[in-house]
Every structure is written in C-alpha cells, then in structure tokens.
Structure 1
Amino acid sequence: MEGVLSDGMCRCCASEGSFKDFQVPYQWMGAEEIYANMLKDCFDLTLSISEEINNGGICEVCITQLRNACNFKRQVQKTEEKFKRKMEESSFKTDSIKMEVTRFDDDDSNMSADEFSSQEYEVPIKVEKLDEKPRKRQAAAKASTSKAKKSKASAETSVKREAIEESSINNDPQPRKATIKVEVETLSKPKIKLIVTKKHRFGKDISDILLNTNATPIRCKGGKGYACCFCTNQFQDPKDLKDHTIYKHDDKTKSEFMKGVSLHNFFVKLDITDLKCSCGSLLQNIEDLVQHLEAKHGKELNSNFMKYVVPFKFDDGLKCAKCKLEFNNFKLLMEHMNVHYKNHVCDVCGAGFVNKKTYTAHCYRHQTGTFPCELCPKIFDTRVKQMEHERAIHVKGNKRNKCGYCGDMFNDYTKKNDHEVKVHGAKPIVLACQACDKVFDNQRSLTVHTKTYHLMQKNEKKYKKNAKK
C-alpha cells in the first residue's frame, strides 16, 4: 500500500510537508515495512496518536536513517551470536603433562621394555639388591609446573614423577629413566578485555557535574524559549529552566544524560549562572568546577571533556562567558562560541566547530556544482541552496517561520514574532544598538541601522556607483 499525508509533520525530524504514513505498510525491495513497528523494534519508541489533529508522517530522509539503523542492529546481533559461538569453541584446549618415572626392572611389572622403546617412553631403571625379605614398594613423586607461551588462552603443564621400586630378582646396577607424555583436556576461561571509550568517559563526566552542582544543560533555544534536555518544556527565562531542571528531574534521569552518545555528536550547552557545588562552594567557571570536583570530592574527570562543553552565563544579559562580548540573541551567541571552541576547523573558510557533526554539515555547504530545482527552472550552485529553496518555496509555500506556541506558519519572521506577542503573550523582543541608544524589535532592522549609520556601508555603495559613472 502506498500513500502520503498532506500538510503534516515528520514525527522524527519535525519538518513540515507531505510524508508517508508511519502506520501504513509499504513495500521496499520485496519486503514490507511499517515504520511505526520499525521504531518500536529498533529503539523501543511508540509514537503518540491523536484523534483531533493530524498525526503527521515520516519523511524520506528519516526513513533511510531508520532503515539503516534497523539493518545495523540486525548486523550487530548476528555478529554477537557468531562471537559467542567462537568463545564456546575456544573454551576447551589440550595441555601436555610430562612425567618422568624412575623404577626397578621387575619381572612382575605391568610394563615391559618394549613398551618404552618409542620416543615417548625412555625409562631409566634403577635396581638395588636386598639382603633379606623384600620390603614394600615405596614411591616418591615430585611435580613442577611451567608455563609455555603458545597462546593467550591456554597453558602447558609439565609434571615430573620419580618412582622407586625394589626387587631381589634383577641385579642390573644401571638405572634407566622413562619420559611419559600424557595429553589431557583442561578448561581455560576466555580472557575479556574491558575498554572504556571516550564517549562513555565523557558521559560519566557530565553526569558527575549535573549530580554534584547546580549547572544545567540547555537543549536549544526554541520558539517558546530555552528547551529542557529531559522533557519538552520551554522557558522564556533561563532561570526558570534551571529551577525546573533541578527540582523536577531526579538524579537517575540526570545520570543518563548523554550516555552512549558518540564523540562525533557530543556537544553540551551548559548554563553555569551562579555556579555552585553541592557542598556550598561558589565557582566562577567550568575550569574551577572541574578542579574543585577532583580536589575536594575525588572525582576523576577527563581533561579533554571541557573541549565539548560550552558554558553560558545569563546573569548580565547575553554575554559570552569567555570574552564578555554581548549579543542580541542566543543564536548569534551560539555562532560566536565556535571562535573559542575550534575542535574542528574548516579548510576552506577557517571556521571552527565544537564537534564533528556540525563541522561536516558546514563543509557540505562548500560543495559547488550545478543543482537545478526539480519543480521550477531555477539553478543553484550548491546542493544546500537548492534544498533550502525547494523546502521554503515549493513545500512550505514560502512560509518558513513557525510559531512556537500554535504551529502557525508565516512568510516573515517579524510577523511570527508579532503574532507570538499579541496572540500568545510572549515577551516582546528588544534589540539595542551597541553604538547608540536606539532599540528595535527585530534583527533585520537593527542590522540595516548598524550598516547604514555606523558602518557607513550605504554611503560607500553610493560612492562606488558614482565612481563608475
């Protein structure tokens, strides 16, 4: 069955458009796929269903990622079964025991000289003559073990045994020695080496900070405000988010934060406003926090961990916690923090990025070529511009700005901001010019004002036009 939903939302990436129904079966390469079942089997996620609003669907990009995740899970499960079988097969190893026996040559003995004629049996026999009645046989055994470096999973044991027997029949004074090799089966335990990777190490580091201080993570700056990392709540004031995180989410939830996240995606935005340890000590920055936890509380934190934690302070406006430079909105401040955290640097433009994921996404923008729009005659020089054009013009009808409260779409973000203030009672945006006393309600007006009156770019353009004439 094939079908799409109109005017829906992708339930995996929140993009708007017409997507496939996640509850309907589809055919792909001869196999049936139901994307809701795949999400349940692979990630144990059950998507909510509403009878009042459109339940949305799943886009092609997310379908591909989901399909790859399911295939990868099956691959890992098959590999684990194969590895377990190899462990069982290698559990039984054969070891050698070497025995040396010294005894008298007795006619009543169960072993003849012919039985020891091979290389495995060279028995020196020692004979002594007795005066009267033969005494009872006496045996003395001496064992020694030595390890041979044949393999990591097995060891070779060598045992030497000497036996002395007395007999009055044979008068041979020369002793002969016998070397006996016995093959035995011993059970050796497989050696398991535990490796702590960076992603697991960093996950423990951030949980130590969250459990021992009032530092709180920020997921993003959404339409309503600053989003919580542990639920869907958003707050206009970062202080409200801090109080919500501290008092509404327990230690167990915080200890699972960023657990299992790979270093490729590891990136934590941390609010360190009025930073305080659980012992009451006041701290100034993330470096002081790490030193305090190590010295006073015995915590072992990875020194590279701080490269992937970006701190923010909201006690004096939107200022950089490193250089105190002030910004008008959180997005610009986030872009500025890449200046201080250049873990990955673009070879083309020199821009820095905290983790490899954002770096890779940025480098993708530099790939140039000819990319025509599939729905109109326009041609773009990058794939990113083509995709943004198709999504904005043809998919969303040029309405790219979504209200964070009701989901209404607007073709201009100033109209969206005005809608949120008048309809939903959001806090009005106030952007102050850094060079004069003027204030504005949107970034576009502030940028035009700054370039025109303070950077003199408008007059410069006029001068260039006049110079050409």
Structure 2
Amino acid sequence: MNAVSTKGPIVDPGMCRCCGFMKRCRVLNVEYTHMGKKEVYADMIMDCFGLLLSNMDGSERDRLVCAPCVGRLREASAFRHQVLLCEEAFLLKIQRDGDEACGIKTEVKLEDTVMEDDGGSTDAPDYDDHVVDDSLETEDQTSQDTLKDPITKETSTDPPEEISVKKKSIKKRSSAKKAVTPAQRQKIKKELVTRMEKLNSMLKQKLNEPDAIAPITAKTRKAELLKQKANQKMSQERMLHHNTVTIVENSYVCPFKTRISNYYCYYCKDIFTDCNELRIHTLKHDPQYFEDHMEAKKITRIDITQIDCRLCNEKISSLEDFKKHLSTVHKKIIYPADTNEFLTFKLSMDNLNCLECGCSFPFIDKLIEHMTDHFGKYVCDMCGACFIEESTLCQHIRGHKKVDTNFPCEICGKNFKSNYSRQLHTATVHEKRPVVHCYKCEASFLSYAQRNRHLINVHGDKRKFACQSCDKVFDVRKTMVEHTRKYHLQVCRHQCDVCDQRFYAPSQLKEHKVTHTGERNYTCDYCDKSYPRRQSLQDHIRSHTNDRRYKCNVCNSTFTQSGSLKSHMKTHEGFEMGEGFPS
C-alpha cells in the first residue's frame, strides 16, 4: 500500500460503498491519518466485521466511503477495542483471584505506559504485578505482544503494546505471622508463570478469531458478491443515479443546461440558441464521460427528440420503451423508481410544449418554471413557492432575506437588491467598462445586446426570432416574447390607483402617476420647457436637433414626433395604421 499525505485524496461527488449516497468521499484502501493515528478503512471493515470488500484494485470512483460512514466505522472499531480490553481485564481478574487463594496479593491495572519498579530491600525485593495495554491499534500487534515473557525483574523497556507482569512483595501470612521462604517464593513464582502462559494462550486465541476465517477464493468471492447484490436494498438516490447514467450512455438523448433562454452543452458548456445545433454538437461527445459531469443533488435535463439505442440502433420514441428494451434485450439493470430520473423535453425553435400536460410556452425558462407544478417537492415555508431542486429552494430563501436590503450607487444614488447588480451598473453605466465577454473570442461589450450583434456579424450566429403576429425579427428570444406580450397580447399587470389604467412595466406606471400629481421634473436644456415624463422630453428635444426619424411610407414625408406622423397619415385616404405602427 502506498503511503499518502495526512489529508489523503478526496472525491467530490462520489458514491459511498457503505450507504450508497452521492457525497464527498475518501478512498477505502488508501492510508489516512486521524488524531495522529493511521487508518485504512477497508482494513477496519475487515477487522470489525470480517467483510472482504471487492474491486479494491479497480477505479478510484468504485472504492469510496463517505465521512458519516467513516465516523460510524471508527465507533465500531473503538467498541471492538473496548470489548477486547474488558475481556482481558476479566481474564486477569480470574488469575488474581487464584493468586489470592495462594497467599499472593496482586493488583491488576490497565494503563497506557509501562510502570516503573517500586524498588525495595535487597533481601526481600517488592514487585508489582502490572498489566500494561495500549489502544490495541491492530490485532497483529496485540497477538505478537502476548507471546513475550510476562515476568521481568528489571524495569521494562519494551513498547506499550507488551503485556508485562512485575513482581510484588510476598507478604507474610496474617494467620501464622511467618515469612515466606525462598523455596516457597520460587514455587509460587512457577505457578504464576504457568497461569500467565495459559492466560496469554487464551487471549491470543480470542484476538486471532478473524484469522480463523477460511481463505476466500475467486469463485467463492464472486458467489458472495452476487448474493450480497441480490439481498441489498439500494437507496432511491442510488437507483436514480444508476438509471440516469445507464440511459444516457446507451441512447442518443441529449443532456443540456439552460440559462437566460440559452442552451448550454452538458459536457463543454458551449452556448447555443438553436436546439438543432445543440443536438448535433452533443453527438460529438462520448456519453461514457457523462457521469464525470453530473452534479450532486441536481436533476438532469434531457432532450428526448431522438432516443434510439446505441447498442443495436433500434428506433425508439418513448423513454419507458427504451428502459424495457435495455433490460430485456441487452440485460442492463434498470431499477424501478418512484420518481423520474430526468426532466424531459422535446426542444424546438417554436413554442415548447410540456410533455406532462401539453401546455405551450414561448421559451425554455417559462417551461422549466411550469415543471414545478408536476415535479416540485421542496416548498418555501415563507411564501409557499415550490421548487424541483433543494439548491434552488435555498437560493430562493436567501432572496427573502435580501428583500429589504438596498445597495445604493455611490455616483447616482440608484438602489439595487444585490452588490453584484450595483457593481455591474457602475461598470457599464458610469465607468463605461465592458464586462460582457464573447464566449467565442476575447472581445468584451457593455451589454448583452452588443454581444449578440457581435455574434451575428462576426461569428455568423443565426439569432433570428421572428414575431408570429407581425414582421418584426429580434436577436434575443426573450425580447421577442416581451414584444408579443406587450403589443399583441397586451398583458398589463400594473394598475394605477387613481384612474385604473394598466401598464406593462412598473416604470411606465411610475411615469404615468406624475400626470395626476402635476409634477414636471424633466426640463429641456434648449427652451426651459418641462415635461412629466422622460419620453415626452426626448420627443421634444428632437424638434431642436431636427431628428426626423418618423417617415411616411406613402409620400416620404418625415417628422420629429410619432404624433405628427399619425396626424399626417389621416390625410391619406384608405390608409389604416397597423399594430406595428410606432406609438
């Protein structure tokens, strides 16, 4: 066995061989140091329970043990050590009772160090009968120590593991008041030696019981392992983990991750906006490395547009059919599970449908949010919100604690809910420092919109999200959805308390409220006119700069304000302003 450092290797996450959970683990047959003592967990299991673990020469990920199981193993080892000490003390007590019957007064002490000789007179030296025993770190050490000579006349210099018996003075018999002669002393000494030898033989036999186990051959080991696997009740988490890895490794399903309506490759984290490109890219990766990229306590999201078996090229359209195919045709183990191994999707460039209830959603973030209605099992005690993963719930709870926390900008005074938002605002708005990086080159930008235009113009990305109700095309899917909700669906959730008028965004409601209070906080730098809304001021300033951005499609006349264009269009007979007309 190779020696390792005090800390030893740590695998995170890994599957514990003792409890079956995915946790932070150590290696079973590697030497670690705890409280100044070296320990090998596979050897401790053998010493305590007589179990010889299999596959100790295989991959490091197949021979792991978690910290809670290590703690329980240490307790079992300590308890075994305690039982051995008590057994030894019991045997020595029997020996002491026999000595007292012969007129010898003895003391039995279990200590961690060898006791020194009391000393005494030259004629009748006093001796102490001490039994010294340390922590019995291993069985081999103790069994060897018990073979040593138990009686010495000089101070012992042997290690603490050695069981040593030192002479104590032979006292006068209380009844006869006579001193013990040298011949009697020699006879008693021989009887004591005989009893100690018998004691050592009994103790050695007791300590060497695990060694009496018959050697395990390869055939009997295989039979024992098959029996253990058949009788073992696997935990639900371990069964789900096994099913997930087996299905992904043997099929063409596409695992993926998402963020802000973008798709990320599960293996190399490349970003895609087109789900078809994601599927083609994922086929380049070997699914045998899927398990190395799995995150603990995270449910994998997979696209099941194409399942199909990798082992025999069988065309399969259902995940349940594929499980039956693996177990019946290829004899793969698929455990029955009470919950799903994945969150399943059929990705498309159009609206996404929930595979459980058929509801349609415009982009992936909303669909995943909807999936909590079917698979959510972690509930927030403060607001009742439901989540699929425990980590998401913890992040949500931290948000409750930050609701009343404000992080004001030191330059303009604007408040933010997090320090990150404030730093991003300062960098992009005041310092004009680009913080949005391109993931295909080293370019940086002030906003995500600028990066998206860079990806289209420089790298040739196809970021085209067309509105289904008009002819507008957007670079970002989320912008297209907001356009649809605002102008076509007219989703207005923010209502004025005075006139009951509704608005799409809270900023629009805030600007509207000043029309009731009469405030005119936006003043023109050219003519000192004031307006209640910023947009009204910007429209007015174009009259000074001669910015004629509104053009008539009929007669090519240009105007500085959209209202002027609307009035002009009424002069053309038969013209109707469509939904996409500027407002």
Contact 2:323 2:334 in 1 (8 A): yes
Distance 1:407 1:364, change over 3 A: farther
* 2:385 equivalent to 1:429: no
Counterpart of 1:219 (choices 257, 261, 264) is 257
Task: Note the C-alpha offset of 1:370.
Answer: 4.3
User: How many pairs does the alignment contain?
Assistant: 312
Task: Note the C-alpha offset of 1:456.
Answer: 5.9
Q: Spell out, residue by residue over 1:294-327, the C-alpha distance to the aligned partner (whole angstroms, 9 max, x if none).
A: 4544444444475351112135745234144444
Counterpart of 1:242 (choices 265, 271, 279) is 279
Tell me the residue number matched to 2:395: 361
* 2:480 equivalent to 1:419: no
Counterpart of 2:244 (choices 206, 216, 231) is 206
Q: Secondary structure at 1:340's aligned position in 2?
A: helix
Distance 1:318 1:241, change over 3 A: same
Contact 1:228 1:234 in 2 (8 A): yes
Tell me the residue number matched to 1:290: 323
Aligned residue identity for 1:231: C
Tell me the residue number matched to 1:405: 440
Q: Spell out, residue by residue over 1:315-343, the C-alpha distance to the aligned partner (whole angstroms, 9 max, x if none).
A: 57452341444444333333333333212
Q: Secondary structure at 1:219's aligned position in 2?
A: strand
Tell me the residue number matched to 1:309: 342
Instruction: Please give the alpha-carbon distance, in whole angstroms, between the structure 2 residues aligned to 1:197 and 1:406.
Output: 45
Contact 2:316 2:322 in 1 (8 A): yes
Counterpart of 1:229 (choices 266, 271, 289) is 266
Instruction: Please give the alpha-carbon distance, in whole angstroms, between the structure 2 residues aligned to 1:445 and 1:239.
Output: 20
Contact 2:240 2:341 in 1 (8 A): no
Tell me the residue number matched to 2:290: 254
Contact 1:218 1:226 in 2 (8 A): yes
Q: Spell out, residue by residue over 1:31-73, the C-alpha distance to the aligned partner (whole angstroms, 9 max, x if none).
A: xxxxxxxxx98779xxxxxxxxxxxxxxxxxxxxxxxx99xxx
Q: Which moved more, 1:201-210 or 1:399-408?
A: 399-408
Instruction: Please give the alpha-carbon distance, in whole angstroms, between the structure 2 residues aligned to 1:88 and 1:457.
Output: 68
Task: Note the C-alpha offset of 1:357.
Answer: 0.7
Instruction: Please give the alpha-carbon distance, in whole angstroms, between the structure 2 residues aligned to 1:305 and 1:197.
Output: 11
Distance 1:400 1:304, change over 3 A: farther
* 2:380 equivalent to 1:346: yes
Instruction: Please give the alpha-carbon distance, in whole angstroms, between the structure 1 residues aligned to 2:282 and 2:444.
Output: 30
Distance 1:227 1:271, change over 3 A: same
Instruction: Please give the alpha-carbon distance, in whole angstroms, between the structure 2 residues aligned to 1:77 and 1:391.
Output: 45
Q: Secondary structure at 1:421's aligned position in 2?
A: helix
* 2:306 equivalent to 1:274: yes
TM-score scaled by length of structure 2 = 0.43
Aligned residue identity for 2:448: Y
Q: Secondary structure at 1:269's aligned position in 2?
A: strand
Tell me the residue number matched to 1:47: none
Aligned residue identity for 1:274: Q
Instruction: Please give the alpha-carbon distance, in whole angstroms, between the structure 2 residues aligned to 1:336 and 1:195.
Output: 34
Contact 1:400 1:409 in 2 (8 A): yes
Tell me the residue number matched to 2:157: none
Aligned residue identity for 1:81: E
Distance 1:342 1:400, change over 3 A: farther
Instruction: Please give the alpha-carbon distance, in whole angstroms, between the structure 2 residues aligned to 1:298 and 1:319.
Output: 35
Distance 1:459 1:312, change over 3 A: closer
Instruction: Please give the alpha-carbon distance, in whole angstroms, between the structure 2 residues aligned to 1:330 and 1:354.
Output: 15
Distance 1:408 1:222, change over 3 A: farther
Instruction: Please give the alpha-carbon distance, in whole angstroms, between the structure 1 residues aligned to 2:343 and 2:490.
Output: 31
Q: Secondary structure at 1:311's aligned position in 2?
A: strand
Instruction: Please give the alpha-carbon distance, in whole angstroms, between the structure 2 residues aligned to 1:424 and 1:385.
Output: 35
Task: Note the C-alpha offset of 1:195.
Answer: 8.6
Distance 1:458 1:203, change over 3 A: closer
Instruction: Please give the alpha-carbon distance, in whole angstroms, between the structure 2 residues aligned to 1:414 and 1:280.
Output: 43
Aligned residue identity for 2:250: N
**Identity, % of aligned positions:** 19
Instruction: Please give the alpha-carbon distance, in whole angstroms, between the structure 1 residues aligned to 2:396 and 2:499.
Output: 35
Gaps of 5+ in 2: 1-7, 13-23, 26-31, 45-73, 89-97, 103-197, 214-227, 502-511, 517-583
Q: Which has the higher helix share?
A: 2
Aligned residue identity for 1:270: I
Q: Secondary structure at 2:370's aligned position in 1?
A: helix
Structure-to-structure mapping, 1:40-119, within 5 angstroms: 78=34, 81=39, 84=44, 87=77, 90=80, 93=84
Structure-to-structure mapping, 1:363-382, within 5 angstroms: 363-368=397-402, 370-373=404-407, 376=410
Distance 1:246 1:447, change over 3 A: closer
Q: Spell out, residue by residue over 1:356-402, the C-alpha distance to the aligned partner (whole angstroms, 9 max, x if none).
A: 1112112221225643437628586xxx8122432322356586644
Instruction: Please give the alpha-carbon distance, in whole angstroms, between the structure 2 residues aligned to 1:203 and 1:458.
Output: 43
Contact 1:308 1:355 in 2 (8 A): no
Q: Which moved more, 1:416-425 or 1:286-295?
A: 286-295
Aligned residue identity for 1:215: V
Tell me the residue number matched to 1:106: none
Instruction: Please give the alpha-carbon distance, in whole angstroms, between the structure 1 residues aligned to 2:233 and 2:318.
Output: 31
Which one scores higher on RCO, CA 8 angstroms, separation ≥ 6? 1
Tell me the residue number matched to 1:457: 492
Q: Which moved more, 1:448-457 or 1:270-279?
A: 448-457
Task: Note the C-alpha offset of 1:268.
Answer: 0.4
Instruction: Please give the alpha-carbon distance, in whole angstroms, between the structure 2 residues aligned to 1:327 and 1:439.
Output: 20
Distance 1:453 1:233, change over 3 A: closer
